[in-house]
Amino acid sequence: MAIWNLGSINIDHVYRLDSLPRPGETLASRNYGQGLGGKGANQSVASARAGARTHHLGAMALGDDWVLARLADSGVDVSAVARLPDEATGHAIILLDRDAENAIVIHAGANRAIDEAALADTLSALTPRDTLLIQNETNGQVAAAQAARTRGARVIYSAAPFDLEATRAILPHATILAMNAGEARQLFAGHPGDLPVAGLLITKGSEGAEYRDLTSGRTWHQPAFRVTPVDTTGAGDTFAGYFAAGLDEGLDVAQALRLASAAAALKVTRAGAGDAIPTRPEVEAFLADQPI
Ligand code: RIB
């Protein structure tokens, strides 16, 4: 069993502000930092720190070696990350206000220049016991999802950043669709009617999360753990990566939801994205302190 993640790798440039700027406004940041990010890389770190064998499939520039080193140090197999001499490493400008809410601008760079033939070769190793994760920050998602389903693997698709057309194209090849509440509202407005997936994972921040099994009609609700947020960036990625890893190790939906919810709760107490994702022992210790 393994997780394969076709995902973005970003350098996050994080600016802390009292409030997010309005159009035309210039604000001085109180603090600046750089770290590992990208919805894909964050999900890979989460999955690996949860304990799953995790392969990241993606691309970045030459140089920026610290980025790859951080992924590898988290336990992610980075041998299928291509280094592209003519592309920039993807990056994100992240503005964080004093309530820990964020606004993000991304530049895809190498994330959208992934060689799809090489990707197809790598994906030929998937087995029915494997899981493919995809999001909306790379190229090649539809072909990857098709290839994974052809091999009988589970495909968990995070429709983020939300793009209705991209989501419509991938849905027929996804097993589980993962979204936050805002993304779910946009999808239901743009795509009324039944969704052709087996499961729907909706994360709702402080209101918790739910998983709907669209085959049986059963829904599981997971309340959020109460924490004081410092930075919500990457919380959804942490949830998705931990949830995928939980299913991969054989947890049932309720157990995977609880594990992922605890990991996301811990993440929001820390500044940063990929670098701030907790390890499995940290999550287990947090859970041990929670009332049953
Ligand atoms: O989901 C959070 C991530 O979105 C950040 O790490 C940033 O890189 C953007 O991709």
Q: Is residue 122 part of a domain?
A: yes
Main-chain phi, psi angles of 30, to 5 degrees: -85, -20
Q: Would 240 be classed as within a structural domain?
A: yes
**199 in any annotated domain:** yes
Residue nearest to atom 2 of ligand 1 (CA): 234
The pLDDT score that the predictor gives to residue 222 is 98
Q: What is the pLDDT of residue 292?
A: 67
Instruction: Answer whether residue 47 is part of any domain.
Output: yes
Give me the pLDDT at residue 291, please. 79
- Overall domain count for the chain: 1
Ordered mean pLDDT values, 10 residues apiece, the chain (292 residues): 97 97 96 97 98 98 97 98 98 94 95 98 98 98 98 98 97 98 96 95 96 98 96 96 98 98 98 97 97 73
- How high is the pLDDT of residue 208? 97
Domain that holds residue 62: 3-10+37-89+108-288
Residue 95's DSSP bridge partners are 15, 103
Helix, strand, coil shares of the chain, percent, nearest 5, are: 35, 25, 35
Q: Please report whether residue 29 resides in a domain.
A: no
Phi, psi of 155 (to 5 degrees): -120, 120
Determine the 3-state secondary structure of 35 from DSSP: strand
- pLDDT at residue 99, rounded to an integer: 87
CATH number for 47:
3.40.1190.20
- From 8, 233, 238, 239, the mutation candidate for ligand 1 (largest count of ligand atoms within 8 A of CB) is 233
**CA 261 – CA 283 distance, rounded (Å):** 10
Q: Is residue 223 part of a domain?
A: yes
Check if the beta carbon of residue 156 is closer than 8 Å to that of residue 240.
yes
Beta-strand ranges (E) seen in 97-134 are 102-107, 131-134
Domain presence at residue 268 = yes
Q: Which residue is catalytic, options 237, 252, 275, 289?
A: 237
DSSP single-letter state for residue 32: E
Residues framing ligand 1 (Cβ under 6 A): 8, 10, 12, 37-39, 42, 92, 104, 106, 137, 233-234, 237, 273
Residue nearest to atom 10 of ligand 1 (CA): 38
Stated pTM of the model: 0.97
**103 Cα: distance to centroid of ligand 1 (angstroms):** 10
21 occurs within a structural domain: no
